[in-house]
Amino acid sequence: MTHPTQLWAMGACELAELVRTRQASAREVVRAHLDRIDRVNPLVNAITVVLAEQALAAADAADEALRRGGPSAPLTGVPMTVKENVDVEGSATTLGVAMLRDAVARNDAPHIGQLREAGAIPLGRGNMPEFGMRWHTDNQLRGATLNPWSARHTPGGSSGGDAAAVAVGMTPLGMGNDGAGSLRWPAQCCGVTALKPSLGRVPQGGRHGPSQPAPFAFQLLAVHGPIARQVRDLRLAFAHMCGDRGSDPWYAPVPLDGPPVQAPVRVSVVTDPAVAGALDRAARLLAGAGYVVTEDPPPALDRAGEIYHQIMSGYSRVREQQPPVETVAPGDFARFWAGFEPAWTAAAGRPAFDPMTPIDPAPAGSIAASQPAHSGSSPPG
């Protein structure tokens, strides 16, 4: 079947509509992205494991169901990649660590299972730094991911593999996660869009079941979210990621849609010399779209960074339970940790934060529209 636009260049919403209306088969869509991976992935090393056989089988099953008159699910035939710290049944959850190369998951993470039920098809695994703890994407197990627009620039981390894969059309959707920038930073570096949901919106689970809960710091800070080239694709994916509770005690089953937003919407743009040009362009676009844009000082960014360190230092179980880093992730990660770990240790000695004391908020009714440059004081994971 011939299409005016190559299938790999289309977004998730477009692909789902083509499959639903039988203008393309799910197999055609998956095959187009597998071919794209064959051509492009050797240049960027964004996808670490290609699930070709499983993906084609899922596509054939979807096409057969449609031929028999079954309904099309919202994401039927839409491929997705999944970061290597998220469980995909039958695939290793490595966290980018060589010693976990055989840690094959017996089940999908809750949101991956939901996306499958909505018709999405896991196509491959996205690269990441060890433990999701660096600002670029590299590890001894899989090697480095390159920024698809410039090999001299970082693709970001820690969801850098999925962001790069989305940017070059190897997948319309990437599934990553974010505790301190791991969706937002690689999306910025690779020129795509990403959503870091609020805590409790997308259920956690799978690798950390009820008998082995994740450390409190990671429960509190890290969330799963989608990466795409278009904002409407983020919404489509997100709508089918936040249903089942799984084993997450933080899960909050709140509606996707809230009450209508009263116009005009105020947007606060935080001025920063390092990103002034990009912020100025964003502000002009927002103003042109009808938003009321104001300039405001950053809302206690230094204090927020300090609290982040205190949470990670006190509630991550790193110092108490972690074996020597060089025995788990030697090489570049061990050198990174040697430079970074003292910041956590120092945070433990500062006065603890009081969760009942508010951090200076942004002006009421405003939406912070900044992406501050990383200072090197906290990991993106």
Ordered by start, the domain boundaries in the chain are 7-238, 301-348
Angle among Cα 351, 354, 360 to the nearest 5 degrees reads 105
Q: For residue 66, which amino acid is it?
A: L
Question: Across the strands, what pairs with 224?
Answer: 177
Strand (E) positions, 179-273? 193-194, 223-228, 266-270
CATH of region 7-238, choose from 3.60.20.10, 3.90.1300.10, 3.40.50.1980, 3.10.450.50: 3.90.1300.10
**Among 34-43, 190-199, 243-252, 325-334, where is mean pLDDT lowest?**
243-252
- Residues with a catalytic annotation lie at 83, 158, 182
Kind and range of the H or E run holding 293: strand 292-296
Kind and range of the H or E run holding 296: strand 292-296
Average pLDDT over residues 124-138: 95
Q: In angstroms, rounded to a whole number, what is the distance separating the alpha carbons of residues 67 and 156?
A: 42
Q: In angstroms, rounded to a whole number, what is the distance separating the alpha carbons of residues 233 and 336?
A: 35
Which position has the token pair 């627009």?
A: 149
Quote the pTM value. Answer: 0.85
Highest mean pLDDT among 174-183, 200-209, 334-343: 174-183
- Start-to-end CA span in the chain (Å): 42
The burial of 54, by beta-carbon neighbours within 10 Å (0-12 exposed, 13-18 middle, 19 or more buried), is given as middle
**Structure-token pair, residue 232:** 């409407």
pLDDT tier at 377 (50, 70, 90 boundaries)?
very low
Report helix, strand and coil shares of the chain as percent, to nearest 5: 40, 10, 50
Three-state secondary-structure class, residue 330 = coil
Give the pLDDT confidence score for residue 4 in this predicted structure: 59
Question: Across the strands, what pairs with 104?
Answer: 92
Strand (E) positions, 27-68? 47-50
Tell me the pLDDT of the chain averaged across its residues: 86
Which position has the token pair 């788990």?
A: 328
- C-alpha distances (whole Å) from 271 to each of 30, 53, 287 are 43, 49, 16
Half-sphere CA count of 261, side-chain side, radius 13 A: 10
Closest by CA position to 30, among listed 4, 70, 5, 63: 63
Give the pLDDT confidence score for residue 346 in this predicted structure: 78
Give the pLDDT confidence score for residue 215 in this predicted structure: 79
